Structure 1
Amino acid sequence: MEKVFSHTELRKTEMKTTSEYQVDPNKLLYKTDKNGIFKATYKFSHATQKDEQMVLYALLEGSTEPLHLTVNGKKEKYHIVNVPKNGDTTLHFSISDLPRGGHILYLCTEKFFNEKINYNDLAKKGISAYFAPYYFHLQVGDEKVNNVRKQDVIKPEVIKPISVKKIEKGGEPSIRLFHEKDPYGKLDSVNSNSKYYISIKNTSKYPFSGSAYLLSGYEVSNINNSKEGNLIEVPPLSKVDFPLDLQDFKLKDSLRIIYVGIPEAKVSDVQFPVRVFFNTERLSIDNKLKN
């Protein structure tokens, strides 16, 4: 009789700071120092079959630009992290040059998608599907802060869907990218010479209002490719569709779409801001048609 072995892989991340940067960690409330700098550690803990390369990047809610993280003296849009199969890796990171005031920051983790490796279907599925967000509120600076970058207040562009359909109650909220000629098909790759649509499904009884981001490689762009940002409203128990023109972007080896929704009603008794993350799988770019 053949024995079948199964293995459950576990991945966990954890952010820690000193008291200097804490307001109330139980409510996800943190602050910068008097110079407008936030410092913390981010720990990756894995119980997996193989060593893995992870990617860490950040988003600033309402920002028109990618957020840079400084790790080991290198200030980049994203960082690749090596994590042993049954062990931990801890990063010391900092964030600076943020606009004065209160902000929601998202720290996002993925498995590194290396286009130079010919993955089998199962491995590719595992890499492209994994996405783990963590968010918190950060209060930046006080009256003594003098080196915080000024940023104009820009009103985001409201993206109007081309289709809004009511759906039955139940199921999970989701986001998917589909080709104009195959609305129900599953994509493994995309290219910039075809027309695509983004579909967001809200299965809750609360409306969402939020922003969508396109990650080309691991660099973040606004989905409408403008400095004004974007605002997408999704009614309760509804599915909305809107077009995406990939010719507007300089595409790298792969892409992922992320939508961060803000419920327009109090959905629980928690004391911190509630955010709902929708994300597509990471999709390969057809190299022959890549910008």
Structure 2
Amino acid sequence: MAQTTVVESYSGPTPKELARKHGLGAAGRLPSLPEYTRLIWSYRHFIWEFASAKVSAALGNTRLGMIWQVLTPLFNAGVYYVIFGVLLNTKRDVDNFIAYLCAGVFIFGYTQSVVQAGVQAISGNLGLIRALHFPRASLPISIVLVEARNMIASMAVLIAIVLFTGEPLTWEWLLAIPALLLQTFFNAGFTMLVARLGSKLHDLRQLIPFIMRVWMYGSAVLYPVTQFTQHLHGWKLAVVQANPLLVYIELIRHALMEDVPLAGTPTRLWIQAIIWALVVGIGGYAYFWRGEKGYGRG
């Protein structure tokens, strides 16, 4: 007589429910943007230590170390002053051209350094990416942290220059803090943008110096901003004045200097600075997040 086997049905949790209960996810799944943000926060100590290691590696073999982070923009400002301020006489329309020029050079150099390093954030760390599992946004964020630390030292020198050249110390100087924070948020988003582009377009690394040079000439770093109103009108002037780096440079000049010519009213500059920080900061972050699964492949 044939035996009948009775199979009892399993009424426990499904594998998906067990995985969800214990915080497991599908391999290779792109986390949602909020999940990705929480993951980056959980790696904050790694990001800070990685940024500190990059500083030590970059300057550890030099005698002056961190001082080079201050000397470099000072040397650049000196060269630009001789060429543009003295030889081309662009200083005639600004009372305190030395402070005006240094503010432009230091603030522009902050974004320039971030972008030049950010374009290699992925392509320059392929060994680390392929060996370890961590949110790839940690790499461009660490670059922003490095340059933000350098910028603090540069601002101390800039303040000394502004005071030495005769500018009075006022409460408006405190406006430099939110202006730099907005620029840092802008830098973070722009760094992530070029980091993803640089991971696919390796020739972008060669183009960045030329792009930044053109950007500098369009940001009134080396000459008075009044040159724009004298030679441009209508939509052309509006486009040039909406340049984000021009906006952040003008805000710092407005905070640290008295009676300085500006590219627009302070209110308009602040509105533009906030918009650029939000659009580029959030947009660059989302754009980088969308490519998370592809970094280090190929």
TM-score, scaled relative to structure 1: 0.28
Query: Whose strand fraction is larger, Structure 1's or Structure 2's?
Result: 1
Query: Whose helix fraction is larger, Structure 1's or Structure 2's?
Result: 2
Q: Which is bigger in relative contact order (C-alpha 8 A, separation at least 6)?
A: 2
